[in-house]
Amino acid sequence: MTTSKNTTRKRDGSLRTALVEAGISILREKGIEGLSLRECAAQAGVSHAAPGYHFKNLTGLYTAISARGFELFAASMDVSRSKADQTPKAQLLAICEGYLDFAVNHRELFLFMFSGQQLDGGNQDFAAASSRAYAILRETCEPFVEPGTDPEEIELLVWSLVHGYTHLAMINKKRPRHVGEALPKLPNLLRHLTFDGTI
C-alpha cells in the first residue's frame, strides 16, 4: 500500500526530484556504470518500481539528470555574469568562468551531460534547460557579431574554446581554475579573440 508520505511526494514532484538527485549522487560516487533505475531507487530509499513510474526507462532518467545538469550549468554562468562589469568583454569572460566553475563543482555531471548518451530530445524540461544555457552564450556573444557574420560562428568559436579548455584540464587531472602550471589561464587565451577589435 502506498503511504500518504509517498503520495504527497508524487503529487508535489519531490519524489521525482529526489530520484534525479540520487542519480547525480550515483554519478559522483560510481560513474555512469553504476547508474540504473534500481540503484536510483535504492539511493532515494523508495521501491524499485518508483523510477519507472516517473521516467519509464533509463533514457528518461538520463534525460532528467541532464536537464537538471543544464539548469545548474545555466545558473552558474548567470551568477558569474551578474557579478561582472557590464562591458561585453567582462560579460564574456564571466560566463566562461561560470562554465569552468560548473565543471569544477560538478565534474561527473558535466562529463555525463556531454558524453553523447541517448536522451529524449522531445522532453520539454530538457529542451528548456539546454536552450536556456545556450541562450546565455548567444546573448553574451551578440556584441561581437560583425555585420554579415552568422552569429552561430562566433557562438561556436567561444563554446569550442571554453569547452575544449575545460576538457583538456580534466584530462590533465587538473582543476580548471588551477592549471597555471599545465595550461595558460583561460582569460589569456580569450584576449587573442579580436572579432571586430572590441575584445
On whether the 66-199 domain is CATH 1.10.357.10, my answer is: yes
Whether the CB-CB separation of 165 and 182 falls below 8 Å is answered with: no
In degrees, rounded to 5, the angle at the alpha carbon of residue 75 between the alpha carbons of residues 104 and 46 is 80
CATH class of 1-56: mainly alpha
C-alpha cell at 144: 561581437
The C-alpha atoms of residue 144 and residue 187 are separated, in whole angstroms, by 16
The Cβ-side half-sphere exposure at 34, using a 13 Å CA radius, reads 13
Q: What is the pLDDT along the chain (199 residues), one digit of tens a residue?
A: 344 444 444 544 688 899 999 999 999 999 888 888 888 889 888 888 877 788 889 899 999 999 999 999 999 999 999 999 999 999 999 999 999 999 989 999 999 999 888 888 889 999 999 999 999 999 999 999 989 989 999 999 999 999 998 888 776 654 545 544 556 777 777 777 765 544 4
The C-alpha atoms of residue 4 and residue 83 are separated, in whole angstroms, by 44
What local confidence, expressed as pLDDT, does residue 124 receive?
94
What local confidence, expressed as pLDDT, does residue 168 receive?
82
120 DSSP 8-state letter: -
Per-domain residue ranges for the chain? 1-56, 66-199
The C-alpha atoms of residue 178 and residue 16 are separated, in whole angstroms, by 36
Residue with the three cell numbers 576538457 = 167
What local confidence, expressed as pLDDT, does residue 13 receive?
65
